[in-house]
């Protein structure tokens, strides 16, 4: 197995687990000014569109969709997390920094969602920062101690 596949594998596993996950935030705390709040079904459609584009290897399309969502709804934890994931799948050092920023923003708005913590831990591992990775993985476990995925 080549090296890029190993880098993407944890992301794809997380992406598969996030789809339909009850722990995923499905709403934003505050809608963008002059726009009505998105309905739960509209949020789900946006989330599905970004995830589908990532799965199909259309990283630029996924990134554009996630960026638009973040601009329209800057306090959406899910939008920030998926934008981070778009950058994370690119794998280079600059993209990992942007992914980390997206996960940090998502953690700020998500409350007790485990995914931004877990994905930030994956970034830290890829950067070979074991101490920081352990902190993120611990936070993920504390956020959702019943989710067995965190302990694998």
**Hey, is 39 helix, strand or coil?**
coil
pLDDT at residue 41, rounded to an integer: 87
According to the model, what pLDDT value does residue 64 have? 96
pLDDT digits (tens, 9 = 90+) for 111-143: 788 999 999 999 999 999 999 999 999 999 999
Enumerate helices (H) and strands (E) in the chain, giving the number of each. Answer: 7, 0
Poorest-pLDDT segment among 22-26, 51-55, 98-102: 22-26
Instruction: Output 78 or 91, whichever has higher pLDDT.
Output: 78
The answer to whether 11 and 85 have CB atoms below 8 angstroms apart is yes
Residues 6-29: pLDDT tens digits? 454 455 445 544 544 434 444 444
Query: Does the predicted TM-score (pTM) go above 0.85?
Result: no
Compute CA distances 100 → 84, 115, 119, whole Å: 7, 12, 8
The whole-angstrom separation of Cα 60 and Cα 135 is: 31
10 or 49, higher pLDDT:
49
């Amino acid at each position: 197995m080549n090296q890029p596949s190993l880098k993407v594998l944890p992301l794809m596993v997380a992406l598969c687990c996030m789809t339909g996950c009850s722990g995923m935030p499905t709403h934003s705390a505050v809608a963008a000014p002059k726009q009505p709040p998105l309905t739960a079904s509209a949020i789900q459609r946006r989330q599905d569109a970004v995830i589908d584009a990532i799965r199909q290897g259309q990283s630029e399309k996924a990134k554009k969709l996630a960026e638009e969502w973040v601009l329209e709804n800057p306090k959406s934890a899910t939008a920030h997390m998926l934008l981070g994931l778009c950058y994370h799948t690119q794998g280079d050092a600059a993209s990992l920094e942007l992914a980390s920023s997206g996960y940090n923003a998502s953690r700020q708005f998500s409350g007790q969602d485990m995914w931004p913590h877990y994905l930030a831990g994956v970034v830290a591992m890829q950067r070979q920062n074991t101490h920081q990775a352990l902190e993120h993985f611990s936070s993920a476990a504390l956020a959702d101690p019943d989710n067995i995925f965190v302990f694998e």
